[in-house]
Each structure stands twice: as C-alpha cells, then as structure tokens.
Amino acid sequence: MCGIVGYIGPRNTLGVLLNGLSTLEYRGYDSAGVSFIQDGKLELVKKKGYVKELRQAVAEAGYTLDDKHTNRISAGIGHTRWATHGAPSDENSHPHMSMNGKLCVVHNGIIENYAELRSFLKKKGYVFASETDTEVAAQLIEYYYRLNDCSDINAAVRRALKDIVGSYALCVLCVDEPDRLICAKKDNPIVVGIGNDENFIASDVTAMIEYTKNVVFLEDNCILTMTRNSIEITDVYGEPVEYSIDEVKWDADSVQKGGYAHFMMKEMHEEPKVFDATVTPRIKEGDIYLEHFDVTEEYLKDIHNINIVACGTAYHAGCIGKYLIEKLCRIPVVIGVASEFIYSDPIIDEHTLTLVISQSGETLDTRNAMKKAKDLGSRTLAIVNVIGSTIAREADNVLYTAAGPEISVASTKAYTCQLGCLYLIALKFAHVLGRLPDEQYVRYQQELIDIPDKLSEILSRQKEIQRFASKHFNADSTFFIGRGLDYFLSMETSLKLKEISYIHSEAYAGGELKHGTIALIEDGTLVVSTITQDGLVPKMESNIKEVATRGATVLAIIPKRFENIKFSCNEKFIIPDSDELMAPILGVLPCQLFAYYMAVYKGCDVDKPRNLAKSVTVE
C-alpha cells in the first residue's frame, strides 16, 4: 500500500528510483511518480498506471536512465500510490509539488485534518492541483518555509507536523537544499539504507537490498535529514535521537522471480525451505527453544488466557493456533480479527498473553489491536516475518518466521511459517506446563522436522492440481468445506481463491452446510473438501455426498492413509501422511496451488490482484 523510495549518491538516480519502485510494486498501487533535482532544478514526472508506464514517460521526457551517463541528479524521491483521497489520476499521483515549485513531497498514510488545513491554506492564497491529502502537506511545509524566511527545510517540516493530524511516512525534496532529503515518520514505515558514499530511503528493505544491507528503521515521530554521506535523526523538537544500524539477512535474489512465472509460484516452492528454516533451528536435543523468550512454568502459570489478534491470512493461521493451544496446553484462547478487536470490550489484563501475528509487521489494524491489548495490561508475543518492522519492535517478545521477503500479495509461505511458529509455541507451552509427555513432545518435534520433505512431495505433483483447475476455472462459485482443523484451513484457502481469481468462494464447516448454505449448491458448483482428521471421515463423507447429490463437482484432499476409503468425490488429491495435528501444514499447499492455477487460467494478475495491497497501513 503506497511505496516510497529516495536516493542520494553517485549512481544514476532515476535508475535507482525506478528499480526501487518496481520492487515495491507488490505493495499494491495505481499510479507512480518521481521527482529529482537535476542541474539545480526540481523536476517531476508522474503518471496514473504502472511503473513501466512511468519509466516510459521518464524516457520520453528526455531524462537518462543509463548508468553510463554522469549522474546530473543530486537527490531524488519516488512513489507508488494506492488511492485513498482522490481517484487514481496523473494529478493525484505523487510526488506533489508545492504551489511555488520550491519542494516536492511523497507521502504514505492519511492526513486526517486535511480539509481544515486545505481551507486554511486557500485563505493564504494557495491553489491546489489535486484532490489529495498529501498536497496539503507540500503546501503547508512551503508555507512555513517561506514564513521562516527560507532558512531551513527541516525546521519547516517540523513546524508543519505540529499542525498535521494523522499518519505519515513523508519525504521532502527542496530545490534550495539540492543535496539532502528530509523524512518524517508516524505509523508508516521508513527504512534508511546506509551505503558507501550513498544513502537510500524506502518503505521497506526490498527496494534497497540490491545496494546495501545496512539499514536503520526510523522510529515514530522522528525526522531524518539525509545527505550522500550522512544521516541525522532528531525528534520533532530537533533534539538528536540515537539509532542503531541493523544488518538485513535477505539477499537480492529473494526479490526476483528466479525463473518462475509468478512470485506466488516461487513462494509456494520455497515453502519446504522456509518452513525448515523457521522450525528446525529452534528444535535442539529433544527440546524447543523460542529465542529471547524464556518460557518458564512460573511465567505460564501466571497466564490465565491467551488472546490472538491478526488480519486475513495471519488471522487464519491464528485460528489454527487457538485450536492447538487449547488442545495441547488447556489455556483458554480468544481470537478476533484485529480490525474488530479494537471496537470490542475484551476481558484482558496482566494475566493475558496476546499473540500478534503479521507477515509485514506493519498492518495498521493489527498494530492498533496490539496497542489496545497492551493498554489493558496484556503481555505481547509477536509472530512476524519482517525484521525490524513496527510490530516486531513494539511487542514484548518476537518470534520471527524465516519466510524471507514475500512479494506476492497472496500470502502463502508466510502462512506456512506462521503455522510453524504456532506449533512450536503450543508444543513448548504444553510441555513446560507438564501437559505433554516427553515422548509425545519429541514425536511431534520429529513430525515438524519431517514436514519440508512432505511439502516437496506435494509440489512434485502440482500438475494434478493444474489439470483439475484447467477443467474448472470457469466455475462461478467454489465452496471449501472441512471440519475441525480442516475448517480453519478451508477459511484460508477460500480467501486465497477469491483474492487472486475473483471467483466467489465461501469456507464452510461441513456440519453447517445444512443450516442454510447447501441451498446454494447446484449443478456444477465446485466444492473442495479437505479431510485429514481420522475421527471426522464418516461425517465428511456424508457432507460430500450431500453436495454431490445436488450436482456439485468435488475435489477431496486426503492423506495417503484414506486413499482406499470411498468418497463420493469426482477427484482426489493425496497428501503424505502425518500426525493429524500437523495435517493443516500439508493440506494448505494443494489448495494454494489450486487457487494459483484457477487464477492463471482465468488470466488474472496473480501477484497483484485488483484492489489489494500487500501491506495494509490504513484502517
């Protein structure tokens, strides 16, 4: 959701900016733009559409993107916009130039009091060229800059921020200070990349790992002044703020497709490797270690309930986490979607542990839910993929998933890794509480260690799923049904299908169908039924029979040991056997592949589905 890049250094600035924007495409956007100071003049190119159109517009305007040419640009900023205030259009695209052409601004977030500020500025004679909230920031900064007699752009930004209510990652380029960028951050991420005689800023590290791995995560309410060889961070009063430089472990290849047609396919193929990287290093000599989190019996006895907050796919992982924790640890767990949690009146206190699950670590709804839980006294443990992200920094403890960068908007490998962490937590807690005997504890650990090979086995048979999808991609509606753990898995796979193929889809608990939804089943309705729980086979077979009798086409996903059971389905996909508790980690993969192929056959933009953004940083 919106992406920012900025660069000062000897490379071809436009090349760095446009490559960075291409890397940030996955966040979701509808227009893009760049602004830079070339030979002392402030230049601006922006367009509705994708980065490739912007690239063309830049070239048509005569600016060089060729590395061999001397870099005549002293500093530049770029932006991908996901429309909030004002429709996608050239005018509403960022950067926004102030009325007198002094400065350009890119912004992620929302300026809540923009209407009030706009009318204030209009009274001062400012004329607006767009409908956006961001343009207000550009004009306001310029207003204070001129009022201060053009002394210092940093001071003008800090003064403007006093008037601005809302959230922002803001980056400002001023023609009078051609060798520096000023950034401000509140509730939206900004990462600073430290290079050798060059510096970068971006919304996330993926846009800069090609050039540097040394980064500083800007904290809320901080102002950055960046030149080619210096960074200075202050608070809003101009007082210096200390910072540390972190090293990013991800490599540049991880943000390339690596020969796959889509990032989503590449990321599904990474599942065996990243699940292993998430789980195996935490299992040593028959025990589980959750780094930086000392899980003692005393600590756990003091936890009376667990609360889980997350959104979308991460929420679905949390549903499985709730099941596991309650089953293995006998601790009551409440789970809620983060966006609703903030309106609820939860029963939470210092004896609550809140699990916060997020791939990006930046989802605003999840951040707000975590804040609410903390305000009520809860302890927090975050399961996060992006190192140094806001949720990771703000939680009491963090357990990182080792999924690496997830570029496709549809989350696949991050979900599998989130499950990995939730299994580790549930097993560890249960063992420490004395509710899981040693022998079973060790057996479950081995089950987790064996998962990657089984995932690889599923991937080696992806053609079976492809064949099924090739016959049914025209379906108007698909139902995913399951019971117990398989129902929670179905919630995730249904989301996957709808978000990338735009096919209407519902997840239903098998037993719930006859309470209403079965009325929707008719000739040709597609039903995907995952059946992995031994005790639930007869009941699921009844559900399959019920929908098949009414004309549904059924794909059953079952473990090898059920191969000879007669189900009333049209086709079966066999997953390797595992303990039934672990089955969701395997059962999800064929469904992700199914969603992928359905979307591909429908001709959808798999990695960048319409209307969606990867990192949802607005409420």
Positions annotated as catalytic residues are 2, 614
Residue at shortest CB range from ligand AGP = 312
Q: Could you say whether residue 392 binds ligand AGP (CB under 6 A)?
A: no
- Under DSSP, the state recorded for 456 is H
Rank residues 294 and 605 by Cβ distance to ligand AGP and give the closer one: 605
Task: Report the alpha-carbon distance of residue 88 to residue 47 in Å, rounded.
Answer: 9
Least distance in angstroms from the C-beta of 358 to ligand AGP: 3
Closest CA to 92 of 38, 6, 30, 170: 30
Q: How many CA atoms lie within 13 A of 152 on its CB side?
A: 6
Helix/strand/coil for 338: helix
- Concatenated DSSP letters for 295-326? --HHHHHT--EEEEEE-HHHHHHHHHHHHHHH
Helices (H), 510-555: 537-549
State the binding string over 207-246 for ligand AGP (x if CB under 6 A, else -).
----------------------------------------
Rank residues 210 and 499 by Cβ distance to ligand AGP and give the closer one: 499
Task: Report the alpha-carbon distance of residue 531 to residue 262 in Å, rounded.
Answer: 29
Task: Report the alpha-carbon distance of residue 115 to residue 136 in Å, rounded.
Answer: 9
Rank residues 490 and 525 by Cβ distance to ligand AGP and give the closer one: 490
Least distance in angstroms from the C-beta of 395 to ligand AGP: 13
Q: Could you say whether residue 401 binds ligand AGP (CB under 6 A)?
A: no
Tokens representing 469 are: 């999808």
Residue keyed to tokens 């159109």:
53
Number of residues lying near ligand AGP (CB under 6 A): 15
Least distance in angstroms from the C-beta of 617 to ligand AGP: 10
Q: Which of 103, 320, 383, 409 binds ligand AGP (CB under 6 A)?
A: 409
Task: Report the alpha-carbon distance of residue 451 to residue 439 in Å, rounded.
Answer: 19
Strand arrangement, sheet containing 41-48: 41-48, 31-38, 73-81, 3-8, 199-202, 191-194, 214-217, 246-247
Pick the stretch among 20-28, 31-39, 408-416, 427-435 that binds ligand AGP (CB under 6 A): 408-416
Helix/strand/coil for 405: coil
Least distance in angstroms from the C-beta of 95 to ligand AGP: 26
Rank residues 174 and 314 by Cβ distance to ligand AGP and give the closer one: 314
CB-based contacts of 485, cutoff 8 Å, min separation 6? 320, 323, 532, 533, 580, 581, 583, 584
Rank residues 312 and 346 by Cβ distance to ligand AGP and give the closer one: 312
Answer for the pair 109, 166: CB distance below 8 angstroms, yes or no.
Answer: yes
Does the bond joining 538 to the residue before it have cis omega, within 30 degrees of 0? Answer: no
287 C-beta neighbours (distance < 10 Å), count:
15
Q: Which of 15, 312, 405, 590 binds ligand AGP (CB under 6 A)?
A: 312
Rank residues 212 and 493 by Cβ distance to ligand AGP and give the closer one: 493
Pick the stretch among 260-268, 278-286, 347-355, 406-414 that binds ligand AGP (CB under 6 A): 406-414
Tokens representing 350 are: 């210092």
Q: Could you say whether residue 410 binds ligand AGP (CB under 6 A)?
A: yes
Q: Left if phi > 0, otherwise alpha if psi is -120 to 50, otherwise beta: which for 404?
A: left
Q: Could you say whether residue 313 binds ligand AGP (CB under 6 A)?
A: yes
Strands 287-288 and 283-284 turn out to be: antiparallel
Task: Report the alpha-carbon distance of residue 151 to residue 162 in Å, rounded.
Answer: 18
Pick the stretch among 32-40, 170-178, 196-204, 306-314 that binds ligand AGP (CB under 6 A): 306-314
Pick the stretch among 139-147, 290-298, 409-417, 536-544 that binds ligand AGP (CB under 6 A): 409-417
Least distance in angstroms from the C-beta of 123 to ligand AGP: 40
Per CB under 6 A, contacts with ligand AGP among 242-281 are: none
Rank residues 132 and 358 by Cβ distance to ligand AGP and give the closer one: 358
Least distance in angstroms from the C-beta of 267 to ligand AGP: 11
The dihedral over CA atoms of 484, 489, 492, 498, expressed in degrees to the nearest 10, equals -90
Least distance in angstroms from the C-beta of 559 to ligand AGP: 25
Q: Could you say whether residue 616 binds ligand AGP (CB under 6 A)?
A: yes
Rank residues 4 and 181 by Cβ distance to ligand AGP and give the closer one: 4
Least distance in angstroms from the C-beta of 598 to ligand AGP: 15
Least distance in angstroms from the C-beta of 415 to ligand AGP: 8
Per CB under 6 A, contacts with ligand AGP among 327-386 are: 358-360, 363, 366
Per CB under 6 A, contacts with ligand AGP among 502-561 are: none
State the binding string over 65-104 for ligand AGP (x if CB under 6 A, else -).
----------------------------------------
Name the helix (H) or strand (E) containing 499.
helix 485-501
CB-based contacts of 468, cutoff 8 Å, min separation 6? 555, 571, 573, 594, 597
Phi, psi of 229 (to 5 degrees): -130, 25
Rank residues 498 and 602 by Cβ distance to ligand AGP and give the closer one: 498
> What are the C-alpha distances in Å from 534 to residues 86, 154, 183, 383, 594?
53, 65, 56, 30, 24
Per CB under 6 A, contacts with ligand AGP among 411-430 are: 411
Per CB under 6 A, contacts with ligand AGP among 493-512 are: 499
Pick the stretch among 154-162, 186-194, 248-256, 404-412 that binds ligand AGP (CB under 6 A): 404-412
Least distance in angstroms from the C-beta of 496 to ligand AGP: 6
Closest CA to 504 of 474, 544, 542: 474
Rank residues 192 and 311 by Cβ distance to ligand AGP and give the closer one: 311
Pick the stretch among 102-110, 253-261, 308-316, 462-470 that binds ligand AGP (CB under 6 A): 308-316
Least distance in angstroms from the C-beta of 30 to ligand AGP: 17
Buried b (16+ CB within 10 A) or exposed e, 454-470: bbeebbeebeebbebbe
Residues of this chain that interact with ligand AGP (CB under 6 A) are 311-314, 358-360, 363, 366, 409-411, 499, 612, 616
